[in-house]
Amino acid sequence: MATAASILFDTGARDRIAAIPGRLRETFRSGRTRPVEWRKGQLRAVECLLKENAPRLEKALAADVGKPPFEAYAADLGFPLGEAAIALKNLDHWMRPQRVSVPAIQRPGKAWVQFDPLGVILIIAPWNYPVQLTFNPLIAAIAAGSCAVLKPSELTPQTSALMAELVAKYLDDDCFAVVEGAVEETQVLLEQRFDHILYTGNGRVGRVVMEAAAKHLTPVTLELGGKSPVIVMPDANLDVAAHRIGWAKWTNAGQTCTAPDYVLVHQDVEKPLLEKLKAVITEFYGNDPKTSKDYGRIVAERHVDRVASMLDDGVEIFAGGQVDKAARYIAPTIVRGVKPDSKVMQDEIFGPILAVMTVRDLDEAINFVCDHDKPLALYIFSGDEKLCARVLGETSSGGACINAALWQAANPHLPFGGVGPSGMGAYHGRWGFEALSHRKGVVDKPTWTDPKIAYPPYSRVKEWVARKFL
């Protein structure tokens, strides 16, 4: 099988990196990526890559981010395997042109929407789920019939190098390339013309990506995260809420873009919820989470400093709070007494600190959410269907769960994406196929008849027909 290129930045790397999109575009223009057989072949190759190399990928993820084997497989490998399977099952249907009606004045004729591949896609992946967030967009690009340049994060060097090696071994060299490296390499890529850019990461870099894309009028999909709130009402099942909030928060040591960031809990149930969340930490990770094989690590020491600094701003540490910078460890932590101007409330935490604030009623919770940037996710815990419907109807978020957390991002049949500052565009499953395709409108009219109604000279009869049917 052909191999894919992995380019390391050195003296001559700028020119080599800059040449990659043009090389892939030549392949795209040849028509190689358009047939369904080619797309399915590459999707099967992705499946083989992930299945045959799962132990190596899990080992790299453990080294880079301290992921437990279960989380490495379930979150980083299992998701793209599911995406590939769904694409393989549904690709023929997705690619089929969609017939639409033809206005009476345009008959005889027929019309349809067909999905055209965009061309060459740039995929810039983050470090928190480096395999999932590289291969999920890649699967969408393959399904859509496009070529792709992959840029993994430099903060996960072992995983990045291994993905470059495996893409080179399993996928089509003329259609896919991996560019390793850091800021310099990314900047060179962003100077080039692509047909779509899909970036996952923070809003600061998202603005850089969007500015670079604007120079070429390149469309973008931005998955940016934000401070995802949890609303807990008095009628919630607190045992279930504590387990589901705790699992969603402390998976991957809190380094998940859709993780619960802060809790708005009704003041009547703050104390029991806090006690149950504290008990969940022990249930999940034992008396000393640092020794738990099921608890991850922070990706880099500078991120340990960033997250730990949020504990120095007058908040009350209710549970956890231990920090070991050398071990890249921050304990699962709960803080209460949080104020809107607390440091922990200023930016996305992206770490294992769960901030808890009390509210007097649902109105206060909704108003607080609406007064801040639209989040990537919102979670509501309540047994009242009307109350939950009100939260969904009066707030805006990229996705949401009722009496659960994270699962909206794990369902490949739902669109995954942000709104406003938490991102733009969405993908996963069919939504990914459509995001990386162009919807081309087509009209086909026969030539055996050619009504003159639209042609000059215009008469009263023609004008009557136009006003009647247009």
257 in active site:
yes
Local structure of residue 41 (DSSP, 8 states): H
Active-site residue, from 71, 180, 223, 348: 223
Q: What amino acid is encoded at 338 in this protein?
A: V
Q: What amino acid is encoded at 51 in this protein?
A: K
Please list, in sequence order, all residues whose beta carbon lies within 8 angstroms of the beta carbon of residue 251, skipping any fewer than 6 positions away. 71, 75, 259, 296, 406
Among 198, 92, 203, smallest CA distance to 135 is for 198
223 in active site:
yes
- Using CA atoms of 365, 409, 343, 361 in order, give the dihedral in degrees to the nearest 10: 10
> DSSP string covering 263-331, please?
EEEEGGGHHHHHHHHHHHHHHHH-S-GGG-TT----S-HHHHHHHHGGGGSS-EEEE---EETTTTEE-
Active-site residue, from 147, 175, 257, 388: 257
Task: Find out whether 410 and 259 touch, Cβ atoms under 8 Å.
Answer: no
3 state SS of 337:
coil
| Residue 122: how many other CB atoms lie within 10 Å | 29
Task: Find out whether 332 and 292 touch, Cβ atoms under 8 Å.
Answer: no
Among 461, 463, 443, smallest CA distance to 109 is for 443
Task: Find out whether 138 and 436 touch, Cβ atoms under 8 Å.
Answer: no
List the end-to-end C-alpha distance of the chain, in Å, as a whole number: 55
**Cα separations in angstroms, 5 against 74, 165, 186, 293, 393:** 28, 9, 16, 36, 48
**Residues catalogued as catalytic:** 223, 257
